[in-house]
Each structure stands twice: as C-alpha cells, then as structure tokens.
Structure 1
C-alpha cells in the first residue's frame, strides 16, 4: 500500500499526499474533524431541504418513500407518486432533484432507479432533461466535496484505479475533454470514481462539467426510455439491449478518436 501511494506522490498527483499516506498507513480514520464537520454540514443541508418538501405536502401516509433498491421498490414508489405529480409537481420535482443530487454527492448507489423513475413519471424528453440536469449537478457537487475532503478517502479506497487514472489524464492532457467524454460514455471507469477522483488528478472543472453534461445523455436516454415501460422490466440488465450497447460503444470510440490520433502523431 505504501509503495502505491509513494508512486502517486512521484507522479505529482497533488499536494498533501504524504499526509494521506500516513493516515492510511496508521489505520486511523482518514478524515480530520474539520473535514467530517464540512461533510456533515452538506448532509444537513440536504436533510433540511427534504424536510421542507415533506412539510409542504398534504397529510398522508408516506411510508412508501424510500430509496429504491430493486425494481419492485421502484414500482411501488412510482405507483404512489403518480397521484401527487400532477397536483404537487414542484414539490415532486424539487424532492426528486434533491434525492438524486444527494445520492451522487455521497456516492450512494441506485441512481439508475431514479433515472427509471424520471421516465415513468415525466416521459422521455422531460425525463432525460431532468436526469441530465440532476446527474450533472450531483457529479459537480461530488467533485467539489472531494476537492475539499476527498483526498484521503480516494487514496485509501481506490489506489490502483487512481494510479491508472492519473497516468491517463497526464498522457491525454491536450485532448482531455475527448478522454473524459469517452469515460462517461463507456464503462472503462465507474462514474462514481470519476466524480471523486477528477479533482484529485487535476481535471479542470470546465472539462469535467462539459464531459459529464454531454457524455451522460446517451445512457440517460436509454434508461429514461426504459422507465416508461417499467412494468415490462424483469431486471436492471434488461435496460441495455445489444443495439444500445453497440450505440454507446460507437459513441465512445468517436469521442476518443481525436485523442488517439493526436498521441500517434507525437514523436
């Protein structure tokens, strides 16, 4: 573990590596009290926002409200929320956005179910716009939170992936937008890792933002469209048929081609 962290330090990932190394080596909790306080402050902001939405809704039984972990949970949530969406559209929209951004900010799995829910409640075009907005906002929120407090967590959780990502970013610096688009469209690296690691390896925010905003559109369209026929899905694996996979792959190839050509032309 020390060797991996030292390698990252040699590659000049960013400042503060030695401190992160000591914390991981000693086995202590990797965050300082100030960093934990900041994270708790962000969490409290989300909680207060959701509480405000809850208080503006009519008195009812909201026991169905929970983060979906399966298609069955999602179907129950969709069936109950449909009756509120037309009369309390603003509250449902704001609540949806807060939950989606919260999940991405704190790396909570299950946003694919939220994307399906957008299609089921709002249709394809509104659903895609909603998912792209919330996914980009959530990724940006995670980016800035990681920039403040994420370094020790990234070093302790993903040392190998971070070494690979740092090397690729350094090698493709001149055409970094194309590479980041490629990562967003293809499953080369998990999106959660990209959100957290990008500020650590000095990916500029404007490139991160553009790559996220544009790169998630194809997958968002596939997922939201599937949400319209939610009852026909047997598993999350049914989202991506052969045609969808080929389309995403081709988009990824097109996005990375300028970077490959540029690297080949260098001496």
Structure 2
C-alpha cells in the first residue's frame, strides 16, 4: 500500500507540473504588419491554449498541433522545447502508450535530425525513469498483474543470459512484447541498468527514425500530389531501408545465438494468447 501511495504521489505531482507548464504560456508572437495578421495571430494563440493538454490521437490533430507549436516556437523556442520534453517524459515514465505520435510531432516541430536526437534521448530517459519507478514501487504489482508473461520472459532472459544485450535488442527491434511492458518488467527480471539503458538507446533508433521522419514529411506536404513525388518516394524508400537493415542483422544474429522460441506476439506464449487478450 505504501508503494502504491508513493507512486500515486509522483504521478499527481508530475500531472500538476505538466498542467501548470501548459497553462502559463508566455505571450505569443506578434506580427505588426497589419491588423488582419494580428487578429490571425491572436486566434492561433487562443487555439494553442485550447489544445495545450490534448495529446494528438490521429494525423489531423498531429498536423494541427504541429503547425501551432511551430508558430509559437518562433519567439519561445525554449518554452516549446521544455513543454514537449515534459510531455514526452510524462508519457514514457508512466508507461502511457502513444510515443509514435510524439515522435512524429518531434519531426514536424524540430525537423528530422534534431527531432531524431530528441526522440532518442527522451525515449531512453523516459524508459529509464519507468524502470526506476517500477523497481522502486511496482515490482510486486507487475508480477501480480502479469504472472504468466513475466514468467515467460524470465525463462527467456535466463536462457539468453550470455547474450542478454542482443536479446533485449531483438525484443526492441521486433514487436514481440510492447516497449512499455519491457520497461516495467526489466527490474523484475534483474536486468542491469547499463544493459537496459543502451538496449533502449540503440534498439529504438530505427523506430524513432521512422516516426520522426514521417512527422517531418507530413509537415512538409501541402497536397496529396506531394505524396507521390519522386523526392517523397525516395525518402520513403530510405526510411524502409533504415528500418529493415538493422532488424535483418539482429534477426540473423539471433538464429545462432538467441533462444526466442515460444515468444509470440506481445511476448506471450501460444498457450497464453487468449489470456493476454483478456488482460487487455
């Protein structure tokens, strides 16, 4: 009970911080050229205030929020950066799904390379915070909530103890178990912090790159015709290659050195699929 109360206090404090950060916006950029443009600017700022706590849930909301934050970033880069990092770490630290939209938002706001750097750093930091929270407050709760999945992963970790880092990379590259579940389970499985940290940092680079580059491309498209231009198609091909090559190398390595038999989709054994559906 004490561990649950401590975790609840941390979640509440982080929620209050994020709320206060998003409600105390600095003055928006002003364009003095004409009254009409000033009115448009004020309208955009009002719309940003209305959307401050709304995480994007589809591509339309993503593009709308990205346009508003890019507009606001003209004079308040540091504030937008702090707001984005805080929201990202909030989701990652408390194992809240939806990192793909935030990665795309990073690409749309900050561009492909700065967005990728941010996404990799925030994913790794947030996952590490989640690891620490689970280690401190949630070990027994994780085992109670997911007994069979934890037991299966425990067996696989022991079987691959000699190649533990590459086993974790394999799990990050392929969707055999959700990232948030790995983050909260690794302390239970006694995964050392350095191995966990670098497996997240390296293992999620292709996924982060795909999402960030997609978000950057979406922000640059002005019409459906732009989607079928040669430039866009070449970029999509490059994204596919970046995603496939590391995964192929890890899969080739795993055939000889890793034991992943019995791990089905989302980290369940074939016999545990039905129970996994009930848990959802």
Give the TM interval when normalised to the shorter protein: 0.7 to 0.9
Q: Which one has more relative contact order, counting CA pairs under 8 Å at least 6 apart?
A: 1
Structure 1 residues without counterparts, runs of 5 or longer: 1-31, 262-267
Contact 2:206 2:242 in 1 (8 A): no
Q: In structure 1, what is the Cα distance between the partners aligned to 2:65 and 2:253?
A: 37
Q: Taking structure 1 as the reference length, what is the TM-score of the superposition?
A: 0.76
Give the CA deviation at 1:163.
1.3
Contact 2:93 2:127 in 1 (8 A): yes
Which of 89, 94, 109 is 1:121 aligned to?
Answer: 109
Match of 1:46 in 2: 14
Give the CA deviation at 1:206.
0.6
Q: In structure 1, what is the Cα distance between the partners aligned to 2:139 and 2:17?
A: 27
Match of 1:213 in 2: 201
Q: Taking structure 2 as the reference length, what is the TM-score of the superposition?
A: 0.73
Contact 1:175 1:258 in 2 (8 A): no
Contact 1:64 1:76 in 2 (8 A): no
Q: Superposition pairs for residues 1-267 of structure 1, below 5 Å?
A: 32=1, 34-50=2-18, 51-52=20-21, 54-58=23-27, 60-61=45-46, 62-65=49-52, 66-230=54-218, 243=241, 246-254=244-252, 256=254, 259-260=257-258
Q: For residues 109-159 of structure 1, what are the alpha-carbon distances to aligned partners after superposition, in whole Å with 9 as ceiling and x for unaligned?
A: 111100000011111110100000110011001101001122233223322
Count matched residues. Answer: 225
Root-mean-square deviation (Å)? 2.5
Structure 2 residues without counterparts, runs of 5 or longer: 29-44, 228-235, 260-280
Q: In structure 2, what is the Cα distance between the partners aligned to 1:221 and 1:245?
A: 8
Answer with 1 or 2: which has the greater Rg.
Answer: 2
